[in-house]
Chains A and B, each alone.
Chain A
Amino acid sequence: MQQQVSVSQSSIQRSVAWVTRRFGRRPSDLLFRGVTFLMVLIVLGLVVGVAWVLVTSSMPTIEQFGFSFLTNQAFDPVHNIYGVEPAIFGTLVTSAFAMIFAIPIGVGAAIFLVDFCPRTLRLPLAFFADLLAAVPSVIFGLWGFLILAPWLNTSGEPWLAQHLGFLPFFQGQYHGLGLLAAGIILTIMVLPLIIAVSREVMLVVPTVQREAMLALGATRWEVIRYAVLPFARIGILGGIILALGRALGETMAVTMVIGNQATRPSASLFDTGYTLASVIANQFGEATPGLFLSALLEAGLIIFIITLITNFLARWLITSLSQQHRPGGRGV
């Protein structure tokens, strides 16, 4: 009995030793590495799978319509003609609106956090700015639908029409819901992203640089203007592109306030409209297999490609900043 145990033990030991010799690692390590690697492969498979599913499922409309999918005005399941021109227009207008307002406010807030804020308040305020990013988009949508849009309808848009009505942006009927409401919501939603990235890259700027400027008699603003911003410029641009990607792909909040009605694209922000993402969110329920389903997936594919490009650019800009800037790199 005892002999048998010792024999089997030694055979296990021998095979363990053999595996260790043969592969250079012990079997338990090989197993752990194997499991880890398998999980990584599954994750990679998912990433590739998402792209593959989007491309293959939108093949029917790609073959049927080609590039006219991007320029066609109709999204018409009845006649089986699909195009997303109004949706692309709505996406671009609302995102552009958000960027125009979020960039100065976001960079300004970051400047405050890094250079003007009392030291003890810096971290709490940065935390609160980050917290704004954690608010679920459906809650922005709820606020936009129940408070912002009615207010725009009765007060905001009439005021704009009265005082700025000569601009092409503020003409036409008031709806409350529409491009303006979506733009405002997006502005608030991308703010924390711009603040966080700008703050991070401005913190990277060497203190010596600021102190040198101050010693020359520069004001605080001149320090930022000539010593901080030139260094942080590229990183801030990265943050802005990241925010743009977020704005282009935002679904829920925009879907709830943009009105989801096709109007002829005009310059007026009072118009209702839709975005690529809101088309998907609104139409998937009725989608029938075939061209309809394929059209929705192609809209998704367009969002996917755009956000891949923006993310890639942003990442490249932000990392290039941290590698490039060493003390004594670029002068003021």
Chain B
Amino acid sequence: MNTTANPFQSRWSAHDLRRQAGNIVVIVFATAALLLAVGMLFYLLFYVLRQGIQFINLDFFTKLPTPNGEPGGGMGEAVQGTLILLGLASLFGVPLGLFTGIYLSEFGRGRFANAVRFLVDMLTGVPTIIFGLFAWVLIVVPQQTFSGLSGGVALGIIVIPIVARTTEDVLSLVPKEMREASLALGATEARTIVRVVLPAALSGIITGILLSLARVAGETAPLLMTAFGTTFWNTDITQPIDALTLRVFVFTESPYQVQINQAYAGAFVLITLILIASFAVRWATGGFKRRGR
């Protein structure tokens, strides 16, 4: 560092010039780095949305894929399958995540709670294909058939830590005075949580659930070896079931242009879902924080 701040020296000595130049280089690099990251996002969004929108029509949501790349058809079974899988995942994952969050925020003290928090955190970092393998060994292999149920279980496990952590976070934002006021009025602990604490944090909890569902709607890897995919209508969760992500994956590598186009359309639907969820979550959390303070 330059320690000689001599007022008689020229303001821009060689040393200072070097410092200023270094400063400018870093500013330019940092700006370029961010533009690259955000630019990549906009490029991807623009690319998928532009390619996909041409092939979005009613048939896409109501018809089955045509065999051998004949023109027409859609991905109705994949849209339906994704909805079924999301339903199963929330049925399985949301209660577990919600109660774990309540436990961590309201009852969790000491070592055991820390261990739970730690394990839930670990769960978020595990690659999702691992949960696919888990459901595969536990359900698919013994049943000897791929099934929607196993896909729902795999996705449900992914939902748990997301819901648990957001629930814990928003519950801990609820002021302690509200709990004390409720208890002072003679309400039981359970009643306080169900009637006072949870409603106060409701928008945040719903946000967390929405976020987790948006996240699993885009999952492919755990569905490969569980839901597996099919090109027929199926609502029987003991049989293979299709999902948008699975269909996009298969059709992307298809030799037929028709199917590649449909992959674009499927990607369009996925991206739109995730954009809507992300903006909704941002809007909801912003609103929550304003009210909380």
Let me know if B47 and A256 touch, CB within 8 A: no
Q: Is B238 an interface residue (CB 8 A)?
A: no
CB closest chain-A residue, reference B226: A284
Q: Which residues of A contact B157 (CB under 8 A)?
A: 46, 50
Report if A109-B33 is in contact (Cβ < 8 Å); known contacts: A138-B245, A224-B26, A303-B130: yes
Number of A interface residues in the complex (CB < 8 A): 93
Asked whether, in the complex, the Cβ of B129 is within 8 Å of the Cβ of A300, the reply is yes
- Do A136 and B141 touch across chains, with their CB atoms under 8 A apart? no
Interface-facing stretch out of B69-77, B97-105, B172-180, B201-209:
B97-105
Q: Mostly helix, strand, loop or mixed at chain A's interface?
A: helix
0/1 string, A200-218, CB within 8 A of B gives 1? 0000000000000000111
Whether B27 and A142, one on each chain, are in contact in the complex, defined by CB atoms closer than 8 angstroms, is no
State how many angstroms separate the Cβ of A281 from the closest Cβ of chain B: 6
Nearest residue (CB) in B for A49 is: B134
B56 CB-CB contact with A under 8 Å: no
Q: Is the CB of A109 within 8 A of B130?
A: no
Interface assignment of B234: CB less than 8 Å from any CB of chain A: no
Task: State the CA gap A49–B40 with chains docked (Å).
Answer: 39
- CB pair A128 B126 closer than 8 Å: no
Q: Nearest CB to that of A136 among chain B residues?
A: B218
Write out the residue numbers on chain B whose beta carbons fall within 8 Å of the beta carbon of A217.
2, 5
- Annotate B113-141 by CB proximity to A: 1 below 8 A, 0 otherwise: 00010111111011111110110111001
Identify which of residues 247-293 in chain B touch chain A, using a CB-to-CB cut-off of 8 Å. Answer: 248-249, 252-253, 260, 263-264, 267, 270-271, 274-275, 277-278, 282
Known contacts A112-B30, A134-B274, A136-B219; decide if A36 and B102 are in contact (CB<8 Å): yes
Contact call A219/B19, Cβ cutoff below 8 A: yes
- Dominant SS among interface residues on chain B: helix
Q: Whole-angstrom distance between the alpha carbons of A218 and B26 in the complex?
A: 14
Q: Which of B27, B121, B219, B221 interacts with A311 by CB under 8 Å? A: B121
Question: Do B137 and A135 touch across chains, with their CB atoms under 8 A apart?
Answer: no
Is A277's CB under 8 angstroms from B129's CB? yes
Instruction: Give the residues in chain A near B214, CB-CB below 8 Å.
Output: 134
Interchain CB contact (< 8 A) of B224 among A40, A42, A284: A284
Interface residue? A310 (CB, 8 A): yes
Indicate whether A280 sits within 8 Å of B220 (C-beta atoms), given known contacts A256-B252, A307-B126, A311-B125: no
A93 within 8 A of B: no
Q: Which residues of chain B are within 8 angstroms of A111 by Cβ–Cβ distance?
A: 26, 30, 33
A108 vs B30: C-alpha distance when bound (angstroms)? 4
Q: Does A188 contact B (CB under 8 A)?
A: yes
**In the assembly, what is the distance between CA of A256 and CA of B246, in Å?**
12
Known contacts A33-B107, A311-B122; A139/B129 CB under 8 A: no
Q: Is residue B23 contacting chain A, with contact meaning CB distance below 8 A?
A: yes
Q: Which residue of A lies closest to B41 (CB)?
A: A132
Expressed in whole angstroms, the Cα–Cα distance for A104 and B29 within the complex equals 9
State A217–B11 Cα separation when bound (angstroms).
12
B164 touches A252 (CB 8 A): no
Q: Assess whether A289 is interfacial by the CB under 8 Å rule.
A: yes
A26 touches B188 (CB 8 A): yes
- A78 contacts B by Cβ under 8 Å: no
Please give, as numbers and ranges, the residues of chain A lying within 8 Å of B164 by CB-CB distance.
Answer: 43
Which 10 A-B pairs rank lowest in CB-CB distance, beginning with the nearest? A136-B218, A249-B127, A108-B33, A39-B99, A32-B190, A311-B125, A112-B30, A251-B221, A109-B34, A219-B23
22 A-B residue pairs with Cβ-Cβ distance under 8 Å, sorted by A, are A25-B189, A43-B119, A46-B160, A47-B123, A49-B134, A50-B131, A57-B137, A111-B30, A112-B27, A112-B33, A116-B31, A125-B34, A129-B41, A137-B218, A137-B220, A191-B37, A219-B20, A219-B23, A221-B26, A245-B125, A251-B127, A252-B221
Binding site for A on B (CB under 8 A): 1-2, 5, 19-20, 22-23, 26-27, 29-34, 36-38, 40-42, 44-45, 47-48, 95-97, 99-100, 102-103, 106-107, 116, 118-123, 125-131, 133-134, 136-138, 141, 157, 160, 164, 188-191, 193-194, 214-215, 217-221, 224-225, 245, 248-249, 252-253, 260, 263-264, 267, 270-271, 274-275, 277-278, 282
